[in-house]
Structures are given as C-alpha cells and as structure tokens.
Amino acid sequence: MSSSSLLHLRNFQIPFTLTCLVCLLTGCGGGSAGPSAESSGKPTVIAVSYPLASIALRLGGDAIELSYPVPAEEDSVFWSPGDDDVLAMQGVDLLLLNGAGHEPWEAQVILSPLTKAVTAQGFRDQWIELEDAVTHKHGPEGEHTHAGLVATTWLDPLQFREQIQVVQLSLVKLLPDQREAIEERTEQASRELQALHERWENIRELLGDQPLIASHPVYHYLARRYGWNVKNEHWEPDEDPTAEQWQAFDELRKMHPAKIMIWEDEPTPATREQLAARGIQVLVLPTLASGSPTDEVIGAMSANAAHFEAELRKGLAARENSPPNP
C-alpha cells in the first residue's frame, strides 16, 4: 500500500426505492435529472465529475445530450445522487464515471455495465491509497473522511489523457458517423495535455527536492508524477487553524522545513499572515473537482499551472534576494 493517498467519503445515504428497481427491470427511461433523447434524438450522456463532463462536451459537441447532475459549485468527490439522478443513470446511453473512489455511492445502486465507462479503470493498479483516516468538516459539504483511495486522478495530465481516450472510444461507439471529428478533438486535447505535462516538468526543475506542505491530501497523483517532496495537512481555506494545529504545523516543519504551502483555494488573511511570518509562500492550485461543463477543463488546468509557475518564480526570486528567516 502506498504511503501517499485518498478517498473522500462523506456521511451519505442513497435512498434506493422500489420505483428505481422497477424502472431498471422494465427498462424505462431516465428522470428529469438527466438528458432526454426523445426530444432531440441524440445519444444521452451523464458525467459525474466536472473534468469528465467538460471533456464529453468538448469531444461530443452538439451530437450528444450531456447532463452533469452535480451542482457547479459542489465538489463532485462529496456528491451523491438522489432518486431522480439514479433513474436518469439507469436510462442513459453512456454513464461516465471516474473510478479511484470518486463514486463511493456506486455500490449502493444498480447500474448497467453495458452503458457505464469507468475512465480510470485502465490504470487501476496505479490508484493511490491513504493509510490514515481523518474526519473533519469541509465547507458546505459538511463532515467527511479522508481515507481509502485518492479520487483526483485527473490532476496528473498523463493519467487524464488516458481517461479522455476512454471517453473518446465510448463516444465513437455511440456516434460512429462522428468518429473523425471525435478523434480530431481527442488528438488536440492530447496535444494540450502534453504541453501541460511539459510545463509541470519545468516546475519540477524549479522545485527540485525542496520540502512542500499541502493544505489537503489531494495532490498525490501530481506529486507522484513530478517527484514532489510533500507532506499533507487537513486545513480548510475558509477556516483559521487552531492554536493546536499551528503547534503541530511548527513541529512538522522541524523535520520538514517547507517554505511553500499549496492550497486548493485562497486561505484566510489571518492564515496568510501567520504563514508569511514563518517565511512560507502560499501557492493556490485548485483541484477542479467542481465547475460547469461549459468551462473547458484543460484550459483551466493550463491556466492554473501557468499561475502556479509564475507565483513560484516570484517566491524563489524573493527568497534569493532576502536574508534567511530566523
């Protein structure tokens, strides 16, 4: 078992009703939560992560009816479907799942293996696990646990490229007459991910082996790909750490003297001030676990990496020109 890893599990319950079972057995179509093929004649696709929804829309375009049932502002790792969502999934032409623990609710519903594509299945042997479970609150999603599998596979651009290839093959099966267009769009996405990979390789050179701290255990795939020397906290960006958390943080830095802390979102001003007093630079790197399918995800990944690199270079230059912190 790897020493780095993560599954986000929220305290959730999926109500499985007799209606769902009857609908599956009789083959009735999806509910209002999903797209309607009857009105458009197009194949229906449901994706349950923002990156997959964005890619499905990019590759399929107007030839598909795409539904993304997760609210745009909600982290899909902590989302679970309601009855209407399950009904829609049971009647859809293609259901795109991430895998790697992203859908812990899947074991509690009945889904057809004929219409389901688990996009990270091809590198299942590379999924990462967390050994130590930590339960805490996470903004509006409430209490959740970090344990088990790391869900954020898409942060590694080479892994995400493999996931996109699964989406491509699945869409071509639905739309054989669109094969050429889908393959061309996939090739362009692959080129963009290769450029993103090369940028992260440049960032690897800038970082070297210097110690890093992450506010959350969500960057494992990125860290593994690019050799980050990172330790993880369980801090929320909208909450100030307690005195006990700061004490533990300072103890950690005695063994792991990080000058950079990576956050999913902007920390509070008070937290920034405390980190600055310790000579620590804040770098924000969103996980892209939430968003709207119309927001192109590879573009967002590339912009985030470019901003990360620019801020990193500023911090490195500032440290070179400043006396060391006591």
Given 157, 189, 221, which residue is the final one in a domain?
189
Any domain includes 124: yes
Q: How many domains does the chain have?
A: 2
Q: What is the pTM of this model?
A: 0.85
pLDDT of residue 19 exceeding 80, the answer is: no
> In this structure, is residue 250 part of a structural domain?
yes
Cβ-in-10-Å burial (0-12, 13-18, 19+) of 140 comes to: exposed
Using the predicted structure, report yes or no on whether residue 40 has a pLDDT greater than 90. Answer: no
Evaluate if residue 163 carries a pLDDT over 80: yes
Residues 221-227: what's their mean pLDDT?
98
pLDDT score of 243 more than 80:
yes
Q: In the listed set 136, 160, 189, which residue is the last one of a domain according to the structure?
A: 189
**146 vs 26, more confident:** 146
* pLDDT surpassing 50 at residue 7: no
To the nearest whole number, what is the mean pLDDT of the chain? Answer: 88
Q: How confident is the model at residue 277 (pLDDT cuts 50, 70, 90)?
A: very high
Q: Do 65 and 202 belong together in one domain?
A: no
pLDDT digits (tens, 9 = 90+) for 171-203: 999 999 999 999 999 999 999 999 999 999 999
Domain that holds residue 164: 7-189
Give the per-residue pLDDT at 13.
40
Please tell me the number of Cα atoms within 13 Å of 291 on its side-chain side.
20
| CATH number of domain containing 12 | 3.40.50.1980
251-262 average pLDDT score = 98
Residue 28 is predicted with a pLDDT of 39
User: Mean per-residue pLDDT for 86-109?
Assistant: 97
How far is it, in rounded angstroms, from Cα 96 to Cα 178?
19
What average pLDDT does range 111-119 have in this prediction?
97
For residue 325, what pLDDT is reported?
54
DSSP track, 22-60: HHHHHT----TTS--HHHH-SPEEEESSHHHHHHHHHHH
Question: Exposed e or buried b for every residue in 295-304, given b needs 16+ CB within 10 A?
Answer: ebbbebbbeb
Q: Are residues 14 and 136 located together in one domain of the fold?
A: yes
Cα–Cα distance for residue pair 272/282, rounded to 1 Å: 7
State mean pLDDT over 275-299.
98
Local structure of 204: helix, strand or coil? helix
- Of the candidates 167, 189, 211, which is a domain's last residue? 189
Nearest to 249 by CA among 213, 279, 211: 213
pLDDT higher at 78 or 8: 78
